[in-house]
Amino acid sequence: MKQRLLLAPTLREAPSDAEVVSHQLLLRAGYIRQVAAGVYHYLPLGRRVLRKLEEIIREEMDRIGAQELLMPAIQPTELWQASGRYEVYGPELIRLQDRHGREFALGPTHEEVVTTLIGQEISSYRKLPLTVYQIQTKYRDEKRPRFGLLRGREFLMKDAYSFDIDEEGLDAQYWSMHNAYHRIFTRAGLRYLAVEADAGAIGGEGDTHEFMALTDIGEDTIVTCSSCQYASNLERAYAGAEQHASQEEQALEPPLAEARAFVPPMEQVSTPQVKTMEELMQFFKQEAKQMIKTMIVVADGKPAAVLLRGDHEMNETKVKNALQANELELADEDTIIRVTGAPHGFAGPVGLQVPVLIDAHAAGLREAIVGANQVDAHLRHVVPGRDFALPQVGDYRNVAEGDPCPRCEGTLQFQKGIEVGHIFKLGKKYSEPLHAAFLNEQGREQTMTMGCYGIGISRLLATCAEQLNDANGLTWPSEIAPFQVHIIPVSIKDDAQRDACEQLYAKLTAQGVEVLLDDRDERIGVKLKDADLIGIPLRIVCGRDLAEGLVEVKKRTEADKRLFSIEEAMQEALQMKR
């Protein structure tokens, strides 16, 4: 491709609303343009990278025997009613009416549609296992689209769905897909981790892993162990101690019970204006881990309380799952007053009339300080189980850095990550309500066992850009670069330079190398700046050394430039071929 006519408008400055480096660079280097919040054009360079990612994904899906199909974005909402997700998805599900008033959704995912299809078309165990996938545009009306392609409202996905006779079959397909994902992200040149995850709105009760690209701007916190392979999303991570402490019996094992026998009776203390954990610590001269904080939450509209040790943070996912809720939020002041009888800062477990979840660490305290459910008052010498009941002890907190690993003797560490892939064992979550069944070898009807497997392709593009860059621009590896070689004459008006570049361009192109030739009438400084910004892995500059038959060859990721004969440069360039 010749650069003069290429639609790749580079910008010196990124728009001020581009907060993260991938968004800035993709805009500045002319890969994408915004149409509306969370809705983008992929300009030719961006489209090329997107297609490379699509092809990698296709190859790896085909390799594990997944079959490509294409399902529509427009989906009858009846299917979402049938699966029970019509409500769960809320305003993120874009709904529309056709001219006859029938309601449709723009698919954010295709479990309902594919389960219905396969349920209708497959009737015998002989056609199983089956994995289908598609590369298709998805829609989600994000509350806050941001970070360019990282959180868009229209985005490209690869979504795959597996159908099996039983859990064993699902397990095989799940791990085969797991391996395929490793190959895909490795080929894309990504630094990433596969982590244990929460199934969220899509999943069932089975295994689920997220593939997390490691980057400081990640919205997810990844928990890893200092010594073993344990890796989990913070949403789901648990610490070593929890394995035991989460048993209510453990919390009340004899030594603790004995120690509690010596705790004086509960006592109310006047604590005017003492609301925050810090104020409490100062007032009582005690550490946070000797307090229990009582968080009032609203789960699907109903209030509940969550008790945590003062130094711990609530894990919303764990609480949501425990309450089997779709939506969870912290209660507002009115609700707190209604539930506890006191304003924010004085809530406590004693006498509460709403459902109470107690984190095992809180439940395991010998005694604690808690709010008194009265303004300006707290209770001390409060013993869990003695002064308030322990109906639902469990793990409701975020693990903290330094916590013990649940799998080994190591300690837990935090990193930030962006989810680029997510695989789920769905089990029968969709096949049951949508009646996807088959006749088994014995001729009996049996419900299919499903898995689903997604990769956000446009997000992957942005994530690669987020990791693969330096101060001057993007630094693509050749497998996903829009072009592999960038040929730049110092002056396009110099006949010898132009001819040499054109010849090299023609030869490499004929050999299947994707080459961008900068035939613009621009100063060399401008051309090199643009070249760095665009980030093609190998650059060949043809200048005055051409008189001696030499050209300058430089890898985008390396500092040193080398003078090569044209033949040597050509050999170097052929190495870049995908």
Q: Decide whether 7 or 228 has the Cβ nearer to a second copy.
A: 7
Taking the C-alpha atoms of residue 303 and residue 299, their distance in angstroms, rounded to an integer, is 6
Q: Are 208 and 198 in contact (CB under 8 A)?
A: yes
Q: Decide whether 46 or 421 has the Cβ nearer to a second copy.
A: 46
User: In this structure, is the dihedral angle defined by the CA atoms of residues 23, 26, 27 and 33, taken in order, positive or negative?
Assistant: negative
Residues at the contact surface with a second copy, assessed by CB under 8 A: 1, 4-7, 9, 33, 35-36, 39-44, 46-48, 50-51, 65, 67-76, 91, 94-96, 98-99, 102, 104, 106, 113, 117-118, 120-122, 126-127, 129-130, 132, 134, 137, 139, 141, 143, 153-154, 521
Q: How far is the CB of 136 from a second copy (least distance, A)?
A: 8
Contacts 24+ apart (CB under 8 A), 527-533: 527/488, 528/488, 529/472, 530/10, 531/486, 531/488, 532/472, 532/473, 532/556, 533/10, 533/25, 533/28, 533/29, 533/472, 533/473, 533/474
Q: How far is the CB of 458 from a second copy (least distance, A)?
A: 9
Q: How far is the CB of 127 from a second copy (least distance, A)?
A: 7
Taking the C-alpha atoms of residue 492 and residue 103, their distance in angstroms, rounded to an integer, is 58
Q: Decide whether 2 or 577 has the Cβ nearer to a second copy.
A: 2
Q: How far is the CB of 129 from a second copy (least distance, A)?
A: 7
Q: How far is the CB of 366 from a second copy (least distance, A)?
A: 49
| CB atoms near residue 287 (< 10 Å) | 11
Q: Decide whether 47 or 289 has the Cβ nearer to a second copy.
A: 47
Taking the C-alpha atoms of residue 149 and residue 127, their distance in angstroms, rounded to an integer, is 38
Element (H, E) at 260: helix 254-260
Q: Decide whether 40 or 476 has the Cβ nearer to a second copy.
A: 40
Q: How far is the CB of 529 from a second copy (least distance, A)?
A: 18
Q: How far is the CB of 100 from a second copy (least distance, A)?
A: 9
Instruction: Count CA within 13 A, CB hemisphere, residue 209.
Output: 17
Q: Decide whether 102 or 302 has the Cβ nearer to a second copy.
A: 102
Taking the C-alpha atoms of residue 224 and residue 63, their distance in angstroms, rounded to an integer, is 30
Q: Decide whether 8 or 347 has the Cβ nearer to a second copy.
A: 8
Contacts of 16 (CB under 8 A, 6+ apart): none
What are the distances in angstroms from CA 228 to CA 69, 117, 208, 405?
A: 39, 42, 19, 8
> Six-digit token pair at 226?
């200092």
